[in-house]
Chain A
Amino acid sequence: MIRMCDLPRYADADMEEIKKMKEAHVVLNQITYEPKALYRGYTDKRLKIDVSDNSVSILDIPQEVKEKFTGGKGYCLRYLWDSVNPQTRWDSPENAITMSAGPVAGITQYGGTGKCLVCTISPMTDIPIDSNVGGYFGPFLKFSGFDMIELTGKAKEDVIIVIDGNKGIISVEKAPLEHRDAHILGEELTAMYAEDENDRKNVAVVCSGSAAEHCNLSMLNFTFYDPKRNVVRLKQAGRGGIGRVFADKRIKALVCRFKGVKANLNDVYDIKILNKDGLKFHREVATLDNKQNAMRKSGTAYSLQTLSDYDILPTHNYKYGGTEKVSEMKAEVWQEKWLTQGGADGCWYGCSMACAKTADHFLLKTGPYKGCRVCVDGPEYESAAGLGPNCGITDPQVILELNFYCDTYGIDTISYGTMTAFLMECYENGILNKERTGGLELVWGNAEADLELLHLIARNEGFGKIGALGSHKQKAYFAEQGWGDMDFMNDIAMEQKGLEYSEYSSKESLAQQGGYGLTNKGPQHDEAWLIFMDQVNNQIPTFDDKAEALYYYPMFRTWFGLLGLCKLPWNDIVPADNSLRDEPAKVPEHVDNYLDLYYGVTGVKIDRDDMIRMSERVYNFQRIFNIRLGKGLRRNDAIPYRSQGPVTEEEYLSRQERYDRQLVELVGKTAEEVQAMSLQEKMAATRSYRESEYEKLIDAVYPKRGWTLNGVPTVAHLKELGMDLPELLEIVEPLQDVQP
């Protein structure tokens, strides 16, 4: 076991080099300001920077915006809407990157309270993407006087933006010499803007990586400095290509320095409430985590083996739900061999769940940093599953190497894993071959080819240029070249709305098919993770039950993004007596904690219904935002058949007993009829049934959400929510009677 107390510290950055880099900076604009102190979780100020002319504006956030949009993702979407128009695309100068942490973010009494939300028009989906991320930037931005930041325009040369929240200085600087890869750039800027070694923990950097200039899958890294390891850690706003937009604006990095984090910088209404609930939460973690998920030991990767047991772990591009080889990457392997134990691994102060694990002094075997020993943040479950079994890989060494390079190049591990799995299946089916890939033999489990693809993407060379497109555009390209059948590729490419699926196989859970398909941004599990409730527990057997779940959970989970909260402390640890509660799946005591936290910070008392209403306002706003940009209707919620059922004969045959039984129990065939059917007939009957079930699900869910059967929020529902804003009505009113 690798123990924190035995860990050597990482070497310091070369300060002479950093001095040279700093001297090469040219200040393009600098302003001074008086940082506004927080009051009950808010500054009511937003910072707007246009890198086309380097203008810096500090603007008020009106009370009406606060009431309707709360903060976090709500603010991000509100001000993104105001910046763009229906013709705006991801690379339009007016496309904004908006970041906001939410009113509860930055408290240190409770776990998971440092999240920042990031939104932009995505290069992958052409609609708003939202992504949440840990690290210190979000809280530091608040403490520096801003509830949100908005970045627009396009710089002529690489710039960095620096906010010093103590001195009240904001500058836009030309920055030509710094490296692009995140693990180096984060170290350089942290050392550059810290006053001394002790000050490094007060510097937070946002950056992408060298792939971001050309790769649609690019994300944003948010750093925090880890004083025990003497290394900059990286957390990711991963989904939807935000890093590509960042690089297109030629923003190399965003830096915020703030010294003086303490218990009540939010100037909360009643800190006693926060202390009481925080203490209760920390005790739960201390006494129960080892018996529950052991998040403190292996982070979210604890669940790999378990999900394989339930046929949920995507394997070979979601063909299957698990593999016997998953034992090579079970929780004990990560804990014993790879992940450092005993570190204070929270991605914000005060999080005792500490799930941000690392593999330390990890020796790289490929790529530009071959031979270097580095700190690898992760792997999270999604990274390990997507980079691993989904591509036929179960070697932790390879998964960690892929994880490291994705992070430092600025590539989203989820999209990369899912996309590579698609490419491998294309290769296995002759859509791709060695000639077309430039020599990459992308067969299942070929780690060498997988890593080489990643390096090629980062260098924008060869087949890497195709890899950089993402699955959605790859399908069209392969079809144009005459390499593959579009219908087949539509079935097996696990993307919807242009975004690759996250890492759960949803074939046996209709509710989870909706949990992915009926999302605003695309198939990410952070709205509704219903597989167990549906597939295993059988708790939501009817369409009404599933619709209720697909109403409640997306709204409930949206609330975390409004407030600046991490979802994990909600249900990855549960109270000892949670089983005794009426609806244990909702973890009612923790929901009450969150209501307390909101009250304790803002002084505004809300109940569970209010919580859902707060989310509904933003959720419907985002839906209408999609419609404004030409999507957001029922046709855009269609999903690939691979997420619903077996596309290929080998998939059907691998679970033949199950599928044959379902033809009797669900489709209504007799056992004799099933026995007489050919494999192709069985597959066709299965497909017809499953696809019609999904349509029935939509018919149940949309009205529950207050939408027409075409997926358009009704005027009556918007009025009920207080969201009958003129700009929203202008879009939805003409669509009220339009049939799907």
Chain B
Amino acid sequence: MKLNDRPYENWHEGLTIRGVMDYMHFTWPKLVVKVNGQLVWPEDYGNVVLKEDDDLKIHHLLGGG
């Protein structure tokens, strides 16, 4: 599986988007998430199970006042 175009080494059966976020400590409130180019809404982060060859993008929007 790829996360933001980098190999993701902690993939396992049943891994969800929420699981990736927890593992990576992705706590930023404004995210754009896509699996294989398809947008996923926040309410589905815990439901979407990732496959070993999925292309996951978790893009953080900018900050910096």
Contacts and interface: CB of A to CB of B under 8 A. Distances in A.
B25 interface: yes
A538 interface: yes
Interface stretch (A29-37, A192-200, A524-532): A524-532
Interface string B10-42: 000000000000000111111011000001010
A539 interface: yes
A83 B25 CA distance: 51
A533 B62 contact: yes
A640 to B, nearest CB: 20
A529 B63 CA distance: 7
A587 B25 CA distance: 24
A662 interface: no
B61 A571 contact: yes
A140 B2 CA distance: 53
Contact of B39 (A300, A529, A580): A580
B29 A291 contact: yes
B65 A380 contact: yes
A579 B58 CA distance: 11
Contacts of B32: 578-579, 584
Interface string A573-608: 010001110001101000000000000000000000
Given A504-B64, A537-B4, A584 B59 contact: yes
Contact of B27 (A305, A381, A533): A305
Nearest to B28: A306
B63 A537 contact: no
A737 to B, nearest CB: 37
B53 interface: no
Interface in B49-65: 57-65
Contacts of A433: none
A310 interface: yes
A293 to B, nearest CB: 6
A585 B61 contact: yes
Contacts of B27: 305-306, 309
Contacts of A538: 4-6
Interface string A513-526: 00000000000011
B5 to A, nearest CB: 5
Interface string A351-362: 000000000000
**Chain A interface: which size bin?**
35 or more
Given A538-B6, A541-B5, A579-B39, A310 B28 contact: yes
Nearest to B29: A292
Interface string A392-424: 000000000000000000000000000000000
Contact of B61 (A306, A525, A526, A584): A584
A125 interface: no
B8 to A, nearest CB: 12
Contacts of B33: 579
A381 B30 CA distance: 17
Contacts of B57: 537
A568 interface: yes
A600 B61 CA distance: 28
A291 B42 CA distance: 11
A381 B4 contact: no
A536 B63 contact: no
A572 interface: yes
Nearest to B31: A579
B55 to A, nearest CB: 12
B29 to A, nearest CB: 5
A281 B31 CA distance: 20
B22 to A, nearest CB: 11
B31 to A, nearest CB: 8
A282 interface: no
Contacts of B61: 532, 571, 574, 578, 584-585, 587
A341 interface: no
A293 B31 CA distance: 11
Nearest to A580: B39
B62 A532 contact: yes
A664 B25 CA distance: 25
Nearest to B2: A538
A529 B57 CA distance: 20
Given A293-B29, A310-B28, A536 B60 contact: yes
A303 B4 contact: no
Contacts of A526: 64-65
Nearest to A541: B5
B65 A539 contact: no
Contacts of A380: 65
Most chain-A CB neighbours within 10 Å: which of B25, B60, B61, B64?
B64
B60 A532 contact: yes
Interface in A442-457: none
Contact of B63 (A305, A571, A579): A571
A532 to B, nearest CB: 4
Contacts of A300: 65
A538 B39 CA distance: 18
Nearest to B6: A538
A321 to B, nearest CB: 12
A537 to B, nearest CB: 5
A529 B5 contact: no
A326 to B, nearest CB: 11
Contact of B65 (A292, A572, A587): A572
Nearest to A322: B25
A142 B2 CA distance: 53
Interface string A304-329: 01100110000000000000000000
A532 B63 contact: yes
A174 B39 CA distance: 64
A300 B32 CA distance: 21
Contacts of A530: 62
A306 B30 CA distance: 11
A382 interface: yes
Interface in A371-386: 380-382
28 contacts: A292-B29, A293-B29, A303-B63, A306-B28, A382-B65, A525-B65, A529-B63, A531-B64, A532-B28, A532-B59, A532-B60, A532-B62, A536-B26, A537-B60, A539-B4, A567-B65, A568-B65, A571-B63, A572-B63, A572-B65, A574-B61, A578-B32, A579-B33, A579-B39, A579-B41, A580-B39, A584-B32, A584-B59
Interface of B: 4-6, 25-30, 32-33, 39, 41, 57-65
Which 3 A-B pairs have CB atoms at the shortest separation, nearest pair first? A529-B64, A532-B60, A309-B25
Given A529-B64, A579-B39, 18 more contacts: A292-B29, A293-B29, A300-B65, A306-B29, A309-B27, A310-B25, A532-B62, A537-B57, A538-B5, A571-B61, A571-B62, A578-B32, A579-B32, A579-B41, A584-B59, A584-B61, A585-B59, A587-B61
